[in-house]
Chains A and B, each alone.
Chain A
Amino acid sequence: DAGITQSPRYKITETGRQVTLMCHQTWSHSYMFWYRQDLGHGLRLIYYSAAADITDKGEVPDGYVVSRSKTENFPLTLESATRSQTSVYFCASTGGAYGYTFGSGTRLTVV
């Protein structure tokens, strides 16, 4: 199906473990983004990518790594998960002037 899909929808992991959140879009949008949703802060940008092999830091990049070897995929990796990274993570993409399209979100709990 066309769209932007995130996986998994829910994830529980332990402190110190590495975890990867997946994002896949089928529109060939050039721009992709990772946001986290935090109470009192709304959506905060973690990383974004303007095209394959081009990524850049957003507002809160520490503790996260991204890659974009193919236009359609933009995985987000938490290298060593901490409790402060418990959040809902949204992937989004845009191809132009019509706003972002968001994935359904991944709810991550770090215990």
Chain B
Amino acid sequence: ILNVEQSPQSLHVQEGDSTNFTCSFPSSNFYALHWYRWETAKSPEALFVMTLNGDEKKKGRISATLNTKEGYSYLYIKGSQPEDSATYLCAWSPSGSARQLTFGSGTQLTVLP
């Protein structure tokens, strides 16, 4: 089993702070990297799907970058708000099994008012 690692495991920030998390994944045989947002008692929701080295995606105050050569992706949240509190999951898929995702354990973000 090829590992997808996320750090930190959990993070507390103050409202208005900007923050970022890391996702590490196997750099060989790469097809796609996904980011999901998972609120407590709900189901994960897709944020981004990235496939190209150097890709940058943005959705409101949330953005993500991708480095497939070294096997990492960053998720950034600018000006965190309490409603951003959630677990952020990344997931990797290899070429040949493009739709079969391996998930990291997530980064649990708490934004304090």
Q: Name A's B-contacting residues (CB within 8 A).
A: 31, 33, 35, 40-45, 48, 50, 58-59, 90, 94, 97-105
- Sort chain B's interface into a size bin: 20 to 34
A99 pairs with B104, CB closer than 8 A: no
A103 pairs with B49, CB closer than 8 A: no
Stretch touching chain A among B10-18, B62-70, B76-84, B95-103: B95-103
B49 pairs with A97, CB closer than 8 A: yes
B43 pairs with A105, CB closer than 8 A: yes
Q: Name B's A-contacting residues (CB within 8 A).
A: 1, 32, 34, 36, 42-49, 51, 89, 91, 99-106
CA distance A104 to B104 in the complex (A): 20
B34 pairs with A40, CB closer than 8 A: no
Name A's interface SS: strand
Q: Please give, as numbers and ranges, the residues of chain B lying within 8 Å of A50 by CB-CB distance.
A: 99
Q: Please give, as numbers and ranges, the residues of chain A lying within 8 Å of B102 by CB-CB distance.
A: 45, 59
- Other-chain residue from B46, B47, B48, B103 in contact with A42 (beta carbon distance below 8 A): B103
Ordered by A's residue number, 28 sampled pairs between the chains whose C-beta atoms are within 8 Å are A31-B99, A33-B100, A33-B101, A42-B105, A42-B106, A43-B44, A43-B89, A43-B91, A43-B103, A44-B103, A45-B100, A45-B101, A48-B100, A58-B100, A59-B102, A90-B43, A90-B44, A97-B32, A97-B49, A98-B46, A98-B49, A99-B34, A99-B47, A99-B48, A100-B36, A100-B101, A102-B45, A103-B43
